[in-house]
A and B are shown apart, each in its own frame.
Chain A
């Protein structure tokens, strides 16, 4: 693969390259001892089950989804199934429903991730340096992380339901926030932040633990304020951890489903793209359109990941594993 990359090479050179490369590789492999060959075979053997499962359940279905997305395939009229090319994509991409859902998803993603980053950083600082009750905080924040999202969603829903909820009582009487678009989205974001800030905080805490205590002490002796120590020492050193946490949370937030499904079921224009895909598949029973949305979400996630990895230079976790 790397041979194909340089464009400065002349065509003749590129054509010549493969026969030259191959024998070199074979020569490198030749002196493999019996032990090394056994090691290699064992390595492949041990990875085989994981690879087979992961490929069979992701690569194949996503390929199948692409195939389905090119068909007109309505489960109510299975006989009318036929190849329609990119017509489904045209249908989805010219439809307001998709763009509304996309905008809502982006709003939820950006707002919740930004707030989570701030709160998560605060939590990480507490867990690193709090003089009292560090362990209690650590245990407490694992509860939102561990709790079933659906249960948490119901808890928030009932909290804001008029008459039933303890939070609904704080609002002017007669208001039912979950039945209005923006208040409902606000509550969805709140539930999302509550549930996933702990994960963000733990990733940031791991990054924070890489900041040497002596460095901070030295800076303090030199007269740096707490804010200066934070922005000029901690943040730069934590940058890789921050980017990984942002990448993971952004992708996770973008596929938001559970909270919306429970709290509003997508009513009053609160659909995320995932909810839209689900509705098309299970309410409208349109496998073609549902698959098209699946593929579009997949592409969107790919673009987000690409922006993070190439644009911000996020070190993909596991690179270190590969290096060993």
Chain B
């Protein structure tokens, strides 16, 4: 709808601005992580003296490595559970007729809006009483709950696009509804499931509220929470370099996801939310 070199330049400029604004804070964290401790307060955007000391430092301590293991383990388990449980519910919502469906969708929406902080105090007390405080399941359970609305919306949006005649054909051939789901629909639904898995993983990987409230030691503290407990070599030294290095390490997987699955992430984020 536009033509001419001027509009072209205008688009180019605005695009460039957007891209710079989007990546500068990430580059800044990366830059800080490579700065030599003696130059960390020089205020330059790029390091004047490069070093890997900060990375060596964090990987030397179990504080970080253990948190990394927790982060990966907890996010992966929660993601798998959310995709499995969410697929089952999304299939039922997209395909089956049963009373209570509307109520289920409404309840799911309510949970999508639920403020996590409201759950922190009751869960903190409950988890202490039943022994889930500071354990993996203690974080996996709330992550699963809060990612289910996202998973159910995204998956049911994808499930509606599947050619369902194939399912009928399988049913005619004698498959039970369950077999029809597992053998015919699940493979077709795989792209939607991958998308959902990425979104749920990002959500779990990013969480801070639960991670800082429902853990107290290395046993289950994830990286975002662990970073907040980093301390410098001495009391008077802020661990800027270590925090930057740890931040860079946990940002890398996300950037890789973004580059490889850009289309899917966009489709997933928008399909569930706004179609009607």
Chain B, residues 85-122, CB within 8 Å of chain A (1/0): the string is 11011011110111111101111110111111111111
Chain A, residues 176-211, CB within 8 Å of chain B (1/0): the string is 000000000000000000100011001101110000
Residue of B nearest to A226 (CB): B1
Please determine whether B148 and A154 come into contact, CB atoms closer than 8 angstroms.
no
Residue of A nearest to B127 (CB): A61
Please determine whether B124 and A281 come into contact, CB atoms closer than 8 angstroms.
yes
Residue of B nearest to A43 (CB): B98
Q: A126-B18, A154-B247 are in contact. List 8 more A-B contacts (CB 8 A).
A: A47-B92, A126-B14, A150-B228, A206-B271, A251-B115, A258-B224, A274-B209, A317-B275
Q: Does B163 contact A (CB under 8 A)?
A: no
Q: Which residues of A contact B271 (CB under 8 A)?
A: 206
Q: How far is B273's CA from A320's CA once the two chains are assembled, in angstroms? A: 10
Chain B, residues 139-171, CB within 8 Å of chain A (1/0): the string is 001101100110011001100100000000000
Known: A44-B100, A146-B258. A277 touches B121 (CB 8 A): yes
Within 8 A of B (CB), among A129-166: 129-133, 135-152, 154-156, 158-159, 163-166
Please determine whether A36 and B119 come into contact, CB atoms closer than 8 angstroms.
no
Closest chain-A Cβ to B177's Cβ sits at a distance in Å of: 5
Known: A57-B141, A68-B125, A148-B247. A136 touches B19 (CB 8 A): yes
Known: A40-B99, A50-B85, A131-B2. A123 touches B18 (CB 8 A): yes
* The residue from B119, B152, B254 contacting A50, defined by CB atoms under 8 A apart: B152
Please determine whether B108 and A257 come into contact, CB atoms closer than 8 angstroms.
no
Q: How many residues on chain A are close to B (CB under 8 Å)?
A: 106
Q: How far is B269's CA from A248's CA once the two chains are assembled, in angstroms? A: 12
Q: How large is the interface on B (under 10, 10 to 19, 20 to 34, 35 or more residues)?
A: 35 or more
* The residue from A53, A151, A199, A248 contacting B247, defined by CB atoms under 8 A apart: A151
Residue of B nearest to A273 (CB): B117
Within 8 A of B (CB), among A287-324: 287, 290-291, 294-295, 297-298, 301, 305, 315-322, 324
Q: Which residues of B contact A133 (CB under 8 A)?
A: 11-12, 15-16, 19
Q: Which residues of B contact A217 (CB under 8 A)?
A: 1
Q: Does A266 contact B (CB under 8 A)?
A: no
Q: Which residues of B contact A294 (CB under 8 A)?
A: 117-122
Closest chain-B Cβ to A99's Cβ sits at a distance in Å of: 18
Please determine whether A146 and B12 come into contact, CB atoms closer than 8 angstroms.
no
Q: Does B206 contact A (CB under 8 A)?
A: yes
Known: A155-B29, A164-B41. A315 touches B276 (CB 8 A): yes
Within 8 A of B (CB), among A53-97: 53-55, 57-58, 61-62, 64-65, 68
